[in-house]
Amino acid sequence: MATTEKKSALQAIANLFRKFGYWLTVLIGCLSVLIMLLWVSGTFHTKVPEHAESQLPAVPQGATLHVVEVITVPRYETAVGTIQAIRDASVASKILARVEEVNVTAGQKVKAGEVLVRLQNEDLAARLGQVESNRSGAEGRLIQARAEFDRAASLLGQRAISQSEYQGREADLRSATAELERSKQAVEEAKAQLAYAEVVAPFDGLIVDKQVKPGDTAVPGQVLFRLYDPTHMQLVAQVRESLALTLKPGQRILAGLSALGYECEATISEVVPQSNSATHSFEVKVVGPCPPGIYSGMFGRLKLPIGNEEAIVIPKNAITRVGQLTMVQVAKEGVMELRNVQIGREIDGRLQVLAGLQPGEKVVLDSTGTGGQL
């Protein structure tokens, strides 16, 4: 009887397992996967031990600490422009003539009055000789007319000639005087025409464009050369309307040339009183000391003040390079923490910190004064 009851109980248990065994297996599998995920994610152990802070290096004895500070610096807006010559000229021919001689090339420096081009002048020289001969003849006729007038005046006093004859000699004298004056003006005109056969530099400058060669025919008004004075240059920039209206001639602002790494304090020479309708800007011209190697057309920038801003700065020798990262050693409670920072521009020999440090924190300076590399 007892054996039968045991068999019945075992049979009941077996039936129960057959009924719920599948779901029990699924449940056990899910629990196993969950436990493994928690283990991998570090739930059952701490990633950073509680005593990790005690493993940070201590601040060395005698280390130089610098308190992170905030300074007030001016803010600027940049306006781009180009270098232009204050004095430039396009040298052209005034007569129609063949080019006989070209004495300069592009890039050559010239002096005021230096002959750049010689034009054919034989016909002009002949014309000058002709009008000079006419002047000599006019001078002779004037001498004769004056002598005749003086004799007529003497005879008129003696009542040896009539008044009309005297007036005729007087008219001849005035005509001879006018003829001589016309001859003199013709000589001056011929000399000027002959001088046009030599095209000269109007001022000391630099030749930038040569558009003629020997054998060409120069036409009146045709540009032969372009030159400018490299000692008198200006930076011309377009400045937005709202800012340009605050600028005045004589005001001093910063200007720079990126190609030369040059920056100086320049003076506003002119604010053109007309806005560009397309760009809504005004043309501003500034002048300043010209560095060596400056040429017309170079790129430049104006730094226009628009107020002040606060900046966090640290010395350069507080920076440590770790691969591509910029790091600083922050001193806190006797230990050093290596911290990543974002660096901005250089301000008066120091570096601006955009992120990573707060004012009042202390950074460890490199004793070599140059920063470090890890």
For 72-102, give the DSSP string: EEEEEEEEEEEEEESSEEEEE-SS-EEEEEE
Identify the pLDDT of residue 284.
Answer: 92
Q: Does the pLDDT value for residue 315 go beyond 70?
A: yes
Identify the pLDDT of residue 368.
Answer: 59
Residues 6+ apart with CB under 8 A from 299: 80, 81, 82, 83, 257, 258, 259
Answer with the residue of higher pLDDT: 288 or 124: 288
**Which domains does the chain carry?**
57-73+310-373 (2.40.420.20), 78-86+230-306 (2.40.30.170), 88-116+204-229 (no CATH), 121-196 (1.10.287)
Q: Does the pLDDT value for residue 262 go beyond 80?
A: yes
Sheet bearing 109-110, strands edge to edge:
88-92, 223-228, 205-210, 109-110
Identify the pLDDT of residue 374.
Answer: 41
Q: Which residues pair with 265 in a beta bridge?
A: 254
- Measured CA to CA, the distance from residue 66 to residue 56 in angstroms comes to 19
Are 238 and 275 contacting, i.e. CB atoms less than 8 angstroms apart? no
Are 269 and 233 contacting, i.e. CB atoms less than 8 angstroms apart? no
Helices (H), 90-232: 122-157, 163-195
Quote the tokens at residue 337.
Answer: 């923490």
* Predicted TM-score of the model (pTM): 0.57
- Measured CA to CA, the distance from residue 232 to residue 204 in angstroms comes to 11
- Measured CA to CA, the distance from residue 346 to residue 316 in angstroms comes to 9
Distances (CA, A) of 334 to 51, 55, 337, 364, 367: 15, 12, 10, 11, 18
- Give the confidence band of 61 by pLDDT, cuts at 50, 70, 90: confident
Q: What is the mean pLDDT of the chain?
A: 81
